[in-house]
Amino acid sequence: MRRKNRGVDGYPSLHVSLSNPEGPASTDLPLLLHRVADTIEELGLTHDEILDLVISGDEITEYGSWWNATLYWSPRDPDGPTWTSTLLKS
């Protein structure tokens, strides 16, 4: 007897990566977190659409850790706004 595949097929997931500008501001973690919050608001994401937020400071410059963030989300409406369409409205 064959078992039916119960996996999710074509689960939509989008992401955007952000970092502070190169230079002294690269170490400003609160600035990056504000930029992430602004991006979430610009995209109109709700708490149940956000899958993950990864913050890393693994790249070291002469100023210290160069912070970056990657936000992953799955829109409830796959035909709704995407990062590109939101960016183009600006």
Domain-wise residue ranges, the chain: 14-89
Q: How far apart are CA 57 and CA 32, in angstroms?
A: 11
> What are 30-79's pLDDT values in tens digits?
999 999 999 999 999 999 999 999 999 999 999 999 999 999 998 776 56
Judge contact between 14 and 70, C-beta under 8 A.
no
- Report the distance separating Cα 47 and Cα 70, nearest Å: 16
Let me know: does 63 contact 20? Beta carbons within 8 Å: no
Q: How far apart are CA 70 and CA 56, in angstroms?
A: 9
Of 23, 41, 22, which is closest to residue 33 (Cα–Cα)? 41
Express each pLDDT in 5-37 by its tens digit.
Answer: 444 556 678 999 999 999 999 999 999 999 999
pLDDT given at position 88: 44
Cα torsion 53, 21, 25, 42: sign: negative
C-alpha–C-alpha distance, residues 47 and 86, integer Å: 18
